[in-house]
Homo-oligomer: A and B are copies of this chain.
Amino acid sequence: MIDKQSPIPIYHQLEEQIKKKIESGEYSPGDSIPSEREYAEELGISRMTVRQAITNLVNEQYLHRIKGKGTFIAEQKLEQKLTGLTSFTEDMLARGMTPSNKLIHFEIIPAKESLAKELDIREHSPIYEITRVRLAENVPMALEKTYISANLIKGLTEKIVQASLYQYIEEELDLKIGKASQVIEASLANKEEIELLDIDKHSPILLMKRITHLEDGNPFEIVKSSYRADRYKFMIDLER
């Protein structure tokens, strides 16, 4: 199970081993794992090394320790992700609804000043402009306009956008997605929203603007969404 000759640290090997057993369901929330001394003897390694592996998993909230009793598989591990970065598709699935898309526009345009500034690129640099209507259970839910720096994210096609943009960026382009900042405000529907979302004049709209960054801090995407206020609410969990 443990390869002492491997360049991968022993504690890291053990971490992965325990993680797998949690993710595969072999260990379930509330279960206790073998004691530190058992692991040490079983694997022929020092207890302190076992502790280092377990300590890391405790910090990542996979496990929690109780003095005198043992080490246990943590509950949840889901909650904290509610403040995490999710796509419309993930969001709807989490709410138990079936998401779909209607692509309205897909083109490359020169960046206007405000967008260029927010994407930290030069004015008139090429950016993708993608306009979509997002539906849940085939009812229009939001109008979404995505702006992506074309020099940073290359080779984008309609197909990729309709499949999974984030997956393409992380797996095909080997770029890592980092933090995002979101601004949420309320407004009244404009002509385009009234038309595409099939709502009345004077309808309230929930506006969301998100700037997504790569792990190195470079912004690569701006998403402006107009949600139908009668069908959508933002839910956020706050800590402490």
Contact = CB atoms under 8 A, between A and B. Distances in A.
Interface residues of A, number: 33
Contacts of A85: 238-240
Interface in A196-240: 202, 204-206, 210, 227, 229, 232-240
B235 A183 contact: yes
A187 interface: yes
Contact of A182 (B182, B183, B235): B235
Contacts of A59: 59
Interface string A68-80: 0000000000010
Nearest to A234: B184
Residues of A contacting B: mostly: strand
Q: How many copies does the complex hold?
A: 2
A230 B45 CA distance: 63
B181 A236 contact: yes
A28 to B, nearest CB: 21
Given A187-B204, A202-B188, A181 B234 contact: no
Contacts of A238: 83-85, 179-182, 210
Given A83-B239, A181-B235, A183-B236, 14 more contacts: A84-B240, A85-B238, A181-B238, A182-B234, A182-B235, A182-B236, A182-B238, A183-B233, A183-B234, A184-B235, A185-B232, A186-B186, A186-B229, A188-B204
